[in-house]
Amino acid sequence: MTLQEFINLHPNVIHYERAGVEGIDLNALHERIQKSRYLRSRQSFLFLVKNYNAILSGYYDDFKLLEEEQKCPLSDTVVNSLKDKLRVLKGLNLSERQSTDCKEHCGYSPREAEIILEETLTKKFGQVAWAGDVFNRVKAYALNLGV
């Protein structure tokens, strides 16, 4: 995996310029990030590089915990909240340029945010907090536009 591909998969991670990637297996790092809620919340690439060996050893993994969460369905309140957020996103009607700017500004386009919310609803488990964060980023961008 190239650094650009890694950046695209982890748009909330910053400070790539502060750490080199020499000797870093970005594929392995990406796989470990997927297994850890804690690592997905990290925004500093420097942190990931400094803790690379511990990350690869599985020190930060909580995959089993995530599997257990997947067995617990979303409450009706959470489902309704996600549906409300989805309706708001679908009602934004941003231009193509505004959508592109939104992605550049907050890491997600309105359509990508819709997909994340739809997937969370379809699966009935998982990353509700992450989906909510993506929604809030896109909504804040739209509010700044006055939409």
Q: Where are the domains of the chain?
A: 3-67, 72-145
| Global pTM exceeds 0.75 | no
Q: Are 117 and 89 in contact (CB under 8 A)?
A: yes
Reported as a pLDDT band with limits 50, 70 and 90, residue 70 is low
Collect all residues with Cβ–Cβ distance below 8 Å to 92 and sequence separation of at least 6. Answer: 110, 138, 142, 147
Q: What's the whole-number average pLDDT of the chain?
A: 82
Whole-number pLDDT of residue 84: 94
Q: What local confidence, expressed as pLDDT, does residue 63 receive? A: 54
The string of pLDDT tens digits covering residues 92-128 is 888 999 988 988 888 888 988 888 888 888 775 557 8
- Nearest C-alpha neighbor of 32 from the set 51, 10, 8, 60: 60
- Report the pLDDT value the prediction gives residue 25, as an integer from 0 to 100: 94
Write out pLDDT tens, residues 13-30: 887 777 778 889 999 999
Give the model's pLDDT for residue 106: 81
